[in-house]
Amino acid sequence: MRTSEQREVSALVLFLTLTLILNNSRIKNLQSSVHFMESFLAKIKSVYVSMGLGQFNSTHLYFMVGTTLGVFLIEMLFTGWDKCALKRVFQFEKTTRTDLTFWLLETFNFYNIIAVTISFGICYYLVGVIQKNFAINLMVKVENQLLAFALIYIISDFKNYVRHYIFHRSNTLWQLHQLHHSATDLNILARQRGHFLEAEISRFFDVIPLILLGAPVYTYFAIKVVSEAHQMLVHSSLTSGWGFLGKYIIVSPAAHRIHHSIDEKHYNKNLGSTFIFWDRLFKTYHPDVPVYEIGIPENPYNRKGYVHDIFLSMYLFYKNLVIKILPRKWSQKLFVKNFPKTTIFDEV
Ligand SMILES: [Zn+2]
Ligand SMILES: [Zn+2]
């Protein structure tokens, strides 16, 4: 690892340590369990509260703003002002505007509400029922918190790898995930660009570690701090491979850049979230090479704004689903009738 790369990793570790130490009491004071149904009600409440109907729950806001600013700073230290994400936010290009919108929705607690509404609460409800009835809580007996943190992190990260793999390999699910890949410029905020329905379907994966291991909320919050900061950094302007660490252990900015590359040779590669060894293990690893273009081929996104892009992905997703489920004659009829060539979906 080069000296500058060592400094990058050290800055990230220092930032994460400081964040965890500073938030220690806040994390410890959180309730003792995570439950989808409970947090759903809390989120609904927080929307009303944020509209001035009560006291605003600020933990998530602090977390998002603090982490984003911290990672902006780390990136700026190593790339300089000209290449940093913050400068591009001010340039306000269409692709960055979409990222910024998703970031604002997430930061102000609206993302989940929209996601649940768009999916009619079906995933949320089912996952709540599953968690309530099938919890095994294996981790209850592990008293060493550091060990609990490490085990839950590794198992959650494997779950993320499998989920990501499936969203790439299933043609129907790819229609949703491609919204994340439609960013033509990697910047820290692109981390938040993700379809609401993808987030909802992901709940079925996210609940697995909760059922298996139990849900000490402070451990999940600590994991979220670390994984979120790391995810923002791998979506930044940094292009370093982080030497041995990036080759065998942790996903580096260079590795994730390859994941976003438009080059066919890089499709479905480097699918890991935090750990790259899953890619090594399941043969989806691609070594560091320069990436010249980010995005998806014949990209129909980033032209008419984020609302269009969200509906475009949803349309493609449902279309794909219906075509798979219904007899060909019916699905053709349905789509030709409801989406004639003159609609906004022309370009697809
Ligand atoms: Zn992907
Ligand atoms: Zn990404």
> pLDDT digit of tens for each residue in the chain (348 aa)?
677 778 878 887 887 777 777 666 655 555 444 455 556 556 555 554 444 434 445 677 888 888 899 889 988 988 888 888 888 888 888 888 889 999 998 888 788 888 888 888 888 888 888 888 887 877 767 778 788 888 889 999 999 999 999 999 998 999 999 999 999 888 899 999 999 999 999 999 988 888 888 767 677 778 888 898 999 999 998 888 999 999 999 999 999 999 999 998 999 999 999 999 999 999 999 999 998 899 998 888 888 888 899 999 999 998 888 877 777 766 666 665 444 333 333 333
The pLDDT value given to residue 175: 92
The pLDDT value given to residue 347: 35
Q: Are 268 and 181 in contact (CB under 8 A)?
A: no
Render pLDDT for 197-255 as a digit per residue (tens, 0 to 9): 999 999 999 888 888 887 676 777 788 888 989 999 999 988 889 999 999 999 999 99
pTM over 0.75: yes
User: Which ligand is closest in space to the CA of residue 99?
Assistant: 2
User: Which ligand is closest in space to the CA of residue 296?
Assistant: 1
User: Which ligand is closest in space to the CA of residue 193?
Assistant: 2
Neighbouring residues of 231: CB distance < 8 A, sequence distance ≥ 6: 191, 273, 274
Angle 14-192-323 from CA coordinates, rounded to 5°: 145
Overall domain count for the chain:
1
**Interval between CA 332 and ligand 2 midpoint (Å):** 33
User: Which ligand is closest in space to the CA of residue 256?
Assistant: 2
Residue environment code for 242-268, b if the CB has 16+ CB neighbours within 10 A, otherwise e: beeebbeebbbbbbbbbbbbbeeebee
User: Which ligand is closest in space to the CA of residue 257?
Assistant: 2
User: Which ligand is closest in space to the CA of residue 231?
Assistant: 2
Domain of residue 220 covers: 3-347
Q: Where are the beta strands (DSSP E) in the chain?
A: none
**Interval between CA 348 and ligand 2 midpoint (Å):** 22
